[in-house]
Structure 1
Amino acid sequence: MPVLYLPLVAFGRMQPPVWEELDQTLYTLHLPTPVTLRHTGFTVSLKRNRIMLEATVEASVIDHLSVKIRNRAQQAGVSSTRTLLPSGIALADITDVDPNVCNLWLATHRHLFAQTEEVYEFTVCKTGKNRENAFLEMMADYQFTDMFSHSSSLL
């Protein structure tokens, strides 16, 4: 996958004035500490006729951030929101890979289990789909804690 992401909330369509209000409101979101995201392993799943390799995470630990974002969106006048807390982050489309190769990859990467990362910011993206492919446009980043430290291991 060219971009790894864990979707938290879907806002739906909104007009520019609502987006501006949401943007201002999200800048006020603050949590006292970073959110921890615990990696628990890998799984293979079927998504719309595609076999996907996913890194599994404890999604419940980021539920609080998702709720805060949804509350800010409602304050900004966003009419429809829904939570999108998946239990896995898509890593690769493995539809065309031999099952033995996939099993070998999973076996050799088991040492990556149970890692914990700290998340300090989230990004709002505009998504869409045209006839050729889906697109993802980054709209804005929002740092939600003052404890940010630059690290190569950040999500």
Structure 2
Amino acid sequence: FGGPYVGLFATREQHIRREKATSNICTNEGLIALAATIYMTTMGRRGLQEVAMQCAQKASYARRQIAALEGFALPYSAPTFNEFVVRAPSRADALLRRLASEHQITGGLALSHYDPKRPNDFLVCVTETNKRGEIDALVNGLKGVTGS
């Protein structure tokens, strides 16, 4: 075992006829689509509009607060919905690790994981579930880990 012929003995779901398979890789996609349909139906048109407005307003507040911090910048001026890129005064991955360990805040996604030419950039996402106090805690945490 461990040689090149082991694959001959493997039972793989994608090689089994549909009626004999015990699972279906498309099941996850179907469940996600069902969950999204239930959510949208439950929220209704006005509910979805309210969620969208809250996302946009809270993200705008977060953008303004973070941009006001010394050393932080918003590299893109284009309109955003609920996600935006922040340029930190130091490496974003290290800053976000400190934010998590010292303040228990998941502050964003370091973009250097996807583009090494962007070591100080990180992506922030704000949704309707984020409270103003949580956004303020993020801003204060960023202040704390950078000393600004």
Normalising by structure 2, we get a TM-score of 0.24
Determine which structure has the larger helix proportion and give its number: 2
Normalising by structure 1, we get a TM-score of 0.23
Larger Rg, first or second structure (1 or 2): 2
